[in-house]
Chains A and B, each alone.
Chain A
Amino acid sequence: MSNPDIKHDQINDDRVYFFDKPRNVKILMQVFYALCALLVVLDFVINRYTYHPLENLWAFYPIYGFLGCVVLVVIAKWMRTFLMRDEDYYDKVEERRLQEISPARAHEEDDHVGH
């Protein structure tokens, strides 16, 4: 079953938008890096109380957040090697079953745009 819902084709658009300019992206990223650095520095400035011994480690939350996400993505990518199938993996079988149950229905469907 291909995309039954598609309504709009791609059109040509010559306007230049905010993130089309590499300079804007660069500024945004630099602000982001600066904020990250600031947050690590604040770790030493703000005297925070802790509930858990791990929280006393140097920059625990930044490191945990960063490593956590890298591990998450690496594992998820590895999961693709055995979990990923074709887009119509289930549809093939189910479409065939629908044909058997009700051939008329299988033909008339997918004319709708999903709402």
Chain B
Amino acid sequence: MWAIELPPFVPFFIAALFAAFTRGWLRSAILLLTPVLGGLHLMTVTEGIYWQTTLLGYELTPYKVDSLSLIFGYAFHIAAFIATLYALHVKDNVQQVAAPLYAGSAMGAVFAGDLLTLFVFWELLALTSVFLIWARRTSRAYFAGIRYLIIQVLSGVILLVGLLFHAADTGSLAFGAIGTGSIGGWLIFLAFGIKCAFPFLHTWLTDAYPEATPTGTVFLSAFTTKVAVYALARAYPGTEMLVYIGAAMACFPIFFAVIENDLRRVLAYSLINQVGFMVVGIGIGTALSINGAVSHAFNDIIFKGLLFMTMGAVLHMTGRINGSDLGGLYKTMPRTTIFCIVGAASISAFPLFSGFVSKSMVMSAAIEEGYDWVWLMLLFSAAGVFHHAGIKIPYFAFFAHDSGIRVSDPPINMQLAMFIAAALCVTIGVYPSMLYSLLPYDTGYNPYDATHILAQTQLLFFSALAFVWLNLRNMYPPELRSTNLDVDWVYRRLCPGIIQGAVARLAVIGELNNALVHKIGALSPTLARQFGPDGALSSTHPVGSMVKWVIILLAVYLILSFI
């Protein structure tokens, strides 16, 4: 029975160790079998506490299983398998070792029963994933990775301070509902918010994900933000502020996505948009909305992974990822085109695709609980996500004007990974009950009624019509080689600029000082001679001479005392 007690992250860490020393088919087999066996084993695990220990008087629970952590565990195993298969051709040791470590850290975080264990895996997520960015080995990736690491580690440090406050308040480190009633609660909320890419804290994601390797981004898109969603769902369900934060997250990135040229950065913005739906679901806090948030996280891991895989395939085969350089690839990459369209249909929540069966839950919950404006914002962003992720990505990569690039579909392992993800998107869309049976609550929700299907289809078709109309009128913003400023401008340009300015000011003050010294010298040659270099009053004296004078003084004092 020992296997039951083995936490899910352990096999991944062992696999990473083996991956460092093996090559070829043996390494491929180890890397692929780990998520398969781990996933099969996880299906036999029932809810409960499997590992408990005590540290400095605090009870730690490094391995705890309940329905919420289980569904994330399943999703992470599926994602790890698909992404590993997708990256199987990669010879780079750094990536092949970092990837299972990263996946394992995510498993560790979702099965953590206490905040200290969560903190350890929270930081491990950052440390292991950054190598998937650096492995691109460009200077852009190097700097983006450093910024990513700083922000992620900062999130961990805030989590640590928060959990110390929390432990002092409550006397317990248990990872359950926390709420924003105390300083500790707020700090932990902020730490989760950074990893969850709340507005103004989101730029690490759109900065770093598009700079990672073609295969690395697939891993990145699955784990970090979803761990944060899981943590919010566990600690802050029903926190009303999350509804508004989530609505903002769903809306603002789509504007950036429309004008962004790098297609993987478009996907990074739409990742924030999708996480926004989950955050709204957590904020509403009813059984239906939590189910919606969790199932949308599950689906998003697969369809966002699929979209990143198709764009990774384009990057891998053509070496280009800017919308302005691509177009017409459907001619020689037909399979990738189809996979991309399936991913696009899923993220856009077309009926019979996976996004539909989860997104509609959050929307229904918003309207049931009377969040009218939030519902309208979500509806707007649902139309917008189709516009940028559903149409723009496939259109500019595979259709649009012919770029003249003729490359074949990617290697077979990449195609297979994309096929599995696409098949899952359709299967979950057609048989949602499979997914619903894993959810934490039983709500008897049915997405397939005439009202929902018609409303969603109308919304999407007329968003597409808007795209067509804007294109025909030449009003659609063309893809331009450009950088769009976002909040990261503050720490990439504004702050360094201020610091450089301050340093320059100090240098000026220093020069003024020097000039002043010369002026004084000119003013009084005598003073300058005494205090200047080699002046009598600025000369240094050896310690010995000091001692000599002290002895003389003491001797004089002694003599005087006798007189």
Contact = CB atoms under 8 A, between A and B. Distances in A.
B259 A76 contact: yes
A85 B486 CA distance: 11
Interface stretch (B3-11, B59-67, B135-143, B293-301): B135-143
A66 B380 contact: no
A102 B379 CA distance: 50
Given A35-B461, A61-B458, A66-B462, A87 B405 contact: no
B320 interface: yes
B484 A83 contact: yes
B454 A68 contact: no
B403 A66 contact: no
Contact of B383 (A29, A32, A65): A65
Interface in B362-410: 364, 367-368, 372, 375-376, 379-380, 383-384, 387, 399, 402-407
Interface of B is mostly: helix
Contacts of B325: 3
A43 B139 contact: no
A10 B462 CA distance: 36
A52 B255 contact: no
B457 A39 contact: yes
B255 A3 contact: no
Contacts of B143: 94, 98
B451 interface: yes
Chain A interface residue count: which class? 35 or more
Given A48-B454, A61-B462, A72 B480 contact: no
Nearest to B251: A72
Interface string A68-109: 111011111101100111111111011100100000011001
B463 A66 contact: yes
Contact of B406 (A11, A62, A79, A113): A11
Given A52-B372, A76-B255, A109-B137, A68 B463 contact: yes
A72 B138 contact: no
Residue in B315, B316, B383 with the greatest tally of chain A CB atoms within 10 Å = B383
A103 B501 CA distance: 24
A74 B368 CA distance: 32
A68 B465 CA distance: 11
Interface of A is mostly: helix
A27 interface: no
Contact of A72 (B139, B387, B404, B455): B387
Contacts of B321: 5
B58 interface: no
B465 A66 contact: yes
B352 to A, nearest CB: 15
Interface string A6-45: 1110110101011110000000010011011001101100
B83 interface: no
B556 interface: no
Nearest to A110: B138
Contacts of A64: 379-380, 383, 459
B259 A49 contact: no
B485 interface: yes
Contacts of A5: 315, 319-321
Interface string B123-140: 000000000000011111
A102 to B, nearest CB: 10
Interface stretch (B42-50, B104-112, B156-164, B466-474): B466-474
B455 A114 contact: no
A65 B462 CA distance: 5
Nearest to B471: A73
A17 B137 contact: no
A79 B320 contact: no
Nearest to A20: B402
Nearest to A97: B143
Residue in B318, B375, B404, B458 with the greatest tally of chain A CB atoms within 10 Å = B458
Contacts of A59: 458
B482 A86 contact: yes
Contact of A84 (B372, B406, B484): B484
Contact of B213 (A43, A54, A84, A114): A114
Nearest to B215: A115
Given A66-B465, A69-B384, A7 B139 contact: no
A112 B141 CA distance: 12
Contact of B255 (A6, A36, A43, A75): A75
A115 to B, nearest CB: 5
A72 B137 contact: no
Interface string B304-330: 000000000001111111000100101
A8 B321 CA distance: 13
A57 interface: no
Residue in A48, A68, A69 with the greatest tally of chain B CB atoms within 10 Å = A69
A35 B90 CA distance: 44
Contacts of A110: 138-139
Contact of B139 (A1, A18, A80): A1
Closest CB pairs A-B (n = 7): A69-B466, A10-B404, A5-B319, A65-B462, A76-B258, A48-B451, A61-B458
Interface of B: 90, 92, 136-140, 142-143, 213-215, 254-256, 258-259, 315-321, 325, 328, 330-331, 364, 367-368, 372, 375-376, 379-380, 383-384, 387, 399, 402-407, 450-451, 454-470, 475-477, 480-486, 492-493, 496
16 contacts: A17-B328, A32-B461, A36-B465, A48-B450, A51-B367, A59-B458, A68-B463, A72-B384, A73-B475, A73-B477, A76-B259, A80-B484, A90-B493, A98-B142, A114-B214, A115-B213
Given A77-B259, A105-B139, 4 more contacts: A61-B455, A69-B384, A115-B92, A115-B214
